[in-house]
Chain A
Amino acid sequence: EAGVAQSPRYKIIEKRQSVAFWCNPISGHATLYWYQQILGQGPKLLIQFQNNGVVDDSQLPKDRFSAERLKGVDSTLKIQPAKLEDSAVYLCASSPIGRESNQPQHFGDGTRLSIL
């Protein structure tokens, strides 16, 4: 089966600019996650969707970050405006269903964002 697809792989922008990331989960996976991974740390959950509804966005900095998952498939994560501390790898993951599932999350290769 095809894995989780993310684009772009790399992005360099200046602070205060805007940026968007795209994720296509594994076909049939109802749950989609966006994580932020700062160098040397483990991933931190930003937002979790189940189908096209938000399950958890408690750690999403809503003044600058937004995410949507239209039609319960692809998702986009946007940062506007970007700050220096947003430099990180943004990982997308998907799983068949939510907390009841014993299936592991499947991760994409991430988008590496550098803020100048």
Chain B
Amino acid sequence: KQEVTQIPAALSVPEGENLVLNCSFTDSAIYNLQWFRQDPGKGLTSLLLIQSSQREQTSGRLNASLDKSSGRSTLYIAASQPGDSATYLCAVRDNYGQNFVFGPGTRLSVLP
């Protein structure tokens, strides 16, 4: 059974810092991995989706990498801003099922 963990659970940084969020999964037979952002009281917004054959995806100040063999993904946020404050979740879609298994999320606070 696929399990997804995220470290750290919470992170507080000053504005302007570059930061890395980590996601680990136990079964490397994945179809794709997706990073989401969730603001308080809101649903999830998709940030980046990486196919199993890809190593990384970039969108603006965000870069996500995938190392399928080691069961890890990282989300890199460059030059963080207070507006980046939110909970970031990763989710994997495996080859056996059709749904996503989510991690518990990392709560990020970027201080002005």
Contact = CB atoms under 8 A, between A and B. Distances in A.
Q: Do A and B bind each other?
A: yes
Contacts of A44: 102
Contact of A102 (B43, B51, B100, B103): B51
A56 B97 CA distance: 8
A100 B94 CA distance: 12
B44 A45 contact: no
Interface string A41-64: 111110010000001100000000
A17 B103 CA distance: 31
B43 A108 contact: yes
A26 interface: no
A107 B34 contact: no
A105 B100 contact: yes
Contact of B44 (A41, A91, A102, A112): A91
Given A40-B104, A42-B103, A104-B49, A99 B31 contact: yes
Contacts of A109: 41-43
B22 to A, nearest CB: 14
Interface in A65-116: 91, 93, 98-99, 102, 104-110, 112
Find the residue from A4, A106, A112 having the highest chain B CB count within 10 A: A106
A21 interface: no
A102 B105 contact: no
Contacts, number: 54
A7 to B, nearest CB: 13
A106 B47 CA distance: 11
B44 A43 contact: yes
A104 B46 contact: yes
Contacts of A106: 46
A65 to B, nearest CB: 16
Contact of B46 (A33, A56, A98, A105): A105
Interface of A: 4, 33, 40-45, 48, 55-56, 91, 93, 98-99, 102, 104-110, 112
Interface of B: 4, 31-32, 34, 41-46, 49, 51, 89, 91, 93, 97-100, 102-105
Given A43-B44, A105-B34, 4 more contacts: A33-B99, A99-B31, A108-B43, A112-B41
